[in-house]
Amino acid sequence: MIIIIAVGAAIFAPFAASNYLLRVINMTMITYICVVSLFVIFGMAGQISFAQAGFWGVGAYISAILTVDLHVSPLLAFFASALGAALLPAILGIALFRLHGHYFGFSTIGVVMILNGLFQNWKPVTGGADGIANIPPFGIASLTFNTEMSLFYLILFMVTAISVVTYLIHQSSLGRAFMAIRDNEIAAKCMGVNSYLTKIIAFTISGCYCGIAGSLYAFMSSYVSASSFTFPQSALYLVMLMLGGYQTLPGPIVGTALLMLLPEWFRFLQEYILLIYGLGVMVLMVVMPDGLIGGGKKAYEFIRNKRGWTDAIPKQPGNDAG
Amino acid sequence: MLDKVCKRFGGVIAADEVSFALTSGRVRGLIGPNGSGKTTILNVISGICETDPGNIIFEGDSITKEPSHMRARRGIARTFQHPRLLRRCDIKTNLFLGIDLGNMKKKSSVISKKIDQSLEQLLEMAGLKVNMRDSITSLSYGQQKLFEIVRAILTKPKVVLLDEPAAGLNTKEMERVKALIDIAIKNNAAVLLVEHSMDLVMNLCDIITVLNFGRVIAEGIPAEIQNNEAVIEAYLGKGRHA
């Protein structure tokens, strides 16, 4: 029933929404893809990355450069963005995953800063501080996505595809390998998981997602500049993931939707929005460290046990160690 | 087979020219006082620690320089003194991690909805008839230790390294440990058992190696070990001998 309502809302919502609201929703969905990318590398594989905004930028710039400067078709540019933004973390991962724990996370701050520096200063290629304008709309053959509504369906399709792929990864042996590394790397190795290679794969997949998001962003906004692809943007993705819950796939949906849409509804509080963000995140981390989805799950389990609903572990005589 | 394996941590000698071989379908006990290097030997075999000098031979190949995941793929499974499970995952995911390794050559796909009948029997034997969707942390400590042995068996191992599987378990759970080790033996795996429970060691092991300060001080069948003066002096004590 929920799925039917969601599908119905997704199909018919654009007809009821203004162009402005559609732009906000489209941007929310693009951001969601970046947050899901963080879910893969951090939520599943346990490797915190601040480089996501940088990879998002790589995807956006590849599409922009290929279509504006080299007149490549948008579809080809889209695939090049996904591939390019996947290759970069794959190569970086070879070196960076020699580092363990928090050191990897710190190194990714360097990655996003270097990439942002490149976007800003490599003027002949990236346009420097001016960025790249006049990016043509996305199109496949005669089909052109040049209205907010058509872009909505295109991005919705990509969001659905990425969500399904991520769910399948989560349920697969690869997903279990990711989670094994996250929860206990030594145990993972003893269960045949090549932790080094598996981390690189997770980083590559997350980069690919960012590349797709970047390409969609470039075609949607028809302009890219370095100011979008910064370290604070990466930190915001992390906040969105932590807010929604970093251990389950619905977490990124909830976190992104809240932090992207709420500021639109509470515009009158614009001046205080960072203060509210900061306080909200602090309170949430204390009260619900597993995010809203994790907290909700715990609350459900608490009520379930309180009411004596079944499917609890049958206690067997002599099974308790102490 | 371990050939003169040494391991030093700074000035501490944890293993000093330790040599022994494991045989399919047989249990070798590895006993000794605390700090004698038993767990270090398991870590060296499973690849968590590198050997200093020394060689580890598996089915004719030297695996001394191989990383631990390659050794696991060859069929060396292990459990830990304190269970190392995926603490943020459910029981099913933890279980399938073992099945993934067992099926690695077949390429495991999406988790099937069904739990295989033989697996169900294995879980029943381990006293783990539980809801697969529950968190792994909902299991008691004893259940977690048994679960780790089940997961090791699911990898279809050729060698099983058990690090104090009975520590902290009650009598019934210890019986279950025995039953699970019997299954590993029936599957023709070689078992290396590190354990302080002498009843379990003396009942299960075909041969016992005794370590003290990283050195092998005795090796033999349980009856010989029980009467070995050096072992009584270093580990078993006079009460056991009497």
User: Is A183 in Cβ contact with B134 (below 8 Å)?
Assistant: no
- Closest residue by Cα to residue A148 from A37, A13, A254: A13
Q: Identify the H or E element spanning A24.
A: helix A19-38
Residues in A lying within 8 Å of B, measured between beta carbons: 168, 171-173, 176-177, 179-180, 182-184, 186-195, 247, 311-314, 316-322
Bigger pLDDT: A274 or A228?
A: A228
- Closest residue by Cα to residue B71 from A99, A189, A163, A74: A189
pLDDT of residue A269: 80
Q: How distant is the Cα of B223 from the closest Cα of chain A, in angstroms?
A: 30
pLDDT of residue B238: 64
> Which of A30-39, A276-285, B197-206 reaches the highest mean pLDDT?
A30-39
Residue A141 burial class via C-beta count within 10 angstroms: exposed 0-12, middle 13-18, buried 19 and up: exposed
User: Is A192 in Cβ contact with B101 (below 8 Å)?
Assistant: yes
B100 touches A at CB < 8 Å: yes
B149 pLDDT higher than 60: yes
* Least-confidence region, from A281-295, B76-90, B108-122, B173-187: B108-122
Q: What is the ipTM of this complex?
A: 0.87
* Least-confidence region, from A114-128, B119-133, B182-196: B119-133
CA-to-CA distance for A304 and A71, rounded, in angstroms? Answer: 59
pTM here is 0.88
B2-84+155-241 CATH: 3.40.50.300
pLDDT above 90 coverage of chain B, percent: 49
B127 touches A at CB < 8 Å: yes
Q: For B32-118, where are the E strands, in sequence order?
A: 55-58, 61-62, 76-78
Cβ atoms A273, A239 nearer than 8 A: no
CA-to-CA distance for B238 and A106, rounded, in angstroms? Answer: 57
pLDDT of residue B117: 65
Write the pLDDT tens digit of every residue in A1-44.
666 776 777 777 777 788 899 999 999 999 999 999 999 999 99
Quote the mean pLDDT of chain B: 87
User: Is B172 in Cβ contact with A183 (below 8 Å)?
Assistant: no
User: Is B110 in Cβ contact with A168 (below 8 Å)?
Assistant: yes
pLDDT band at A318 (very low <50, low <70, confident <90, very high): very low
Nearest chain B residue to A197 by CA: give it: B69
CA-to-CA distance for B143 and A249, rounded, in angstroms? Answer: 29
SS3 state of residue A112: helix
pLDDT of residue B12: 86
Write the pLDDT tens digit of every residue in B34-67.
888 999 999 999 999 988 888 999 998 999 999 9
User: Is A318 in Cβ contact with B73 (below 8 Å)?
Assistant: no
Nearest chain A residue to B93 by CA: give it: A176
A136 pLDDT higher than 60: yes
User: Is B129 in Cβ contact with A316 (below 8 Å)?
Assistant: yes
CA-to-CA distance for B121 and A310, rounded, in angstroms? Answer: 23
pLDDT of residue B242: 41
pLDDT band at B229 (very low <50, low <70, confident <90, very high): confident
Quote the mean pLDDT of chain A: 89
B112 touches A at CB < 8 Å: no
Q: In what order do the strands lie in the sheet with B2-9?
A: B12-20, B2-9, B55-58, B61-62
Residues 177-206 of B with CB under 8 A from A: none
Comparing CB atoms, the residue among A171, A179, A191 nearest residue B101 is: A191
Domain map (residue ranges) of chain B: 2-84+155-241
Across the range B214-225, mean pLDDT stands at 90
Comparing CB atoms, the residue among B85, B86, B142 nearest residue A319 is: B142
Write the pLDDT tens digit of every residue in A41-80.
999 999 999 999 999 999 999 999 999 999 999 999 999 9
Sign, CA dihedral A30-A31-A36-A40, equals positive
CA A312, A171, B159 angle in degrees (round to 5)? 85
Bigger pLDDT: A140 or A273?
A: A140
Helix axes A102-121, A52-64, angle to 10 degrees: 30
CA B134, B140, B142 angle in degrees (round to 5)? 130
Side-chain-side CA neighbours of B22 within 13 Å: the count stands at 27
